[in-house]
């Protein structure tokens, strides 16, 4: 592994940390979709299975990216504390939306890196998560993955 450019603030370490955060979000999504699928039936369960597989693929990709940087990927937690109890199909869909929103936010962390290829990978994953979230939500949002704290209050426009 080459040493970081002297002018940048340790970009390699920043990249690994951001990749690990994205991986942690994917671990949570893989866990969460198991619960989502268990509470759905029919075509919605099939959709949950498809998304579950997509998150497994993304997790494997991130693990490979982290290993290629000479680091050990963070392991999945044994269990995750869910933000809401999931006992109904409606709650399962809400959890799927939340999982995708978290994943999108984590991938935006990759978009902030200086490595152009990692940026592009992150942006494509933000898009994939936004598409899945919109399908579960049944509607779209203006800023997938961006928390309100990252958005400026609108300022007055000149007429």
Partner 1 sequence: MAAHPTRRVVLAAAAALPLAGASGCGGVNVLAAPPRAAPDVALLRSAIADEQLLIARYVNVLHGAGNPGGSTSAARRGGAAAALAAALEPMLAEHRAHLAQLRSRLVVPAGASPWPSGRAPAGPAAPTAPGAAAAFLRAAEQAAAAALLDRLPRAPASLAQLFASISASEATHVPVLDTVILDTERAAR
User: What mask, x for binding partner 1 by CB under 8 A, covers residues 13 to 32?
Assistant: -x--xx--xx-xx-xx---x
33, 52 contact by CB (below 8 A) = yes
User: Nearest Cα to 74, choosing from 125, 27, 121, 10?
Assistant: 27
- Is residue 140 a contact partner of residue 46, using CB atoms and an 8 Å limit? no
> Within 131-150, which residues bind partner 1 (CB under 8 A)?
131, 133-135, 139-147, 149-150
Contact predicate 30/37, CB 8 Å: no
Residues forming contacts to partner 1 in the complex (CB under 8 A) are 7-9, 14, 17-18, 21-22, 24-25, 27-28, 32, 74, 76-83, 98-99, 102-106, 108-109, 111-114, 116, 119-120, 122-124, 126-127, 129-131, 133-135, 139-147, 149-155, 157-158
């Amino acid at each position: 592994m080459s040493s970081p450019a002297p002018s940048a603030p340790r970009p390699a370490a920043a990249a690994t940390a951001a990749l690990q955060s994205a991986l942690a979000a994917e671990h949570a999504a893989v866990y969460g979709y198991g619960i989502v699928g268990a509470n759905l039936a029919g075509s919605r369960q099939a959709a949950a299975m498809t998304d579950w597989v997509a998150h497994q693929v993304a997790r494997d990709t991130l693990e490979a990216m982290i290993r290629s940087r000479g680091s050990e990927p963070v392991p999945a937690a044994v269990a995750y504390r869910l933000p809401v109890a999931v006992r109904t199909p409606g709650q399962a869909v809400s959890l799927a939306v939340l999982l995708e929103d978290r994943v999108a936010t984590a991938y935006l962390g990759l978009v902030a890196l200086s490595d152009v290829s990692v940026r592009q990978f992150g942006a494509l994953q933000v898009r994939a998560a936004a598409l899945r979230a919109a399908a579960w939500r049944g509607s779209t949002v203006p800023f997938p993955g961006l928390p309100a704290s990252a958005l400026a209050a609108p300022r007055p426009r000149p007429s």
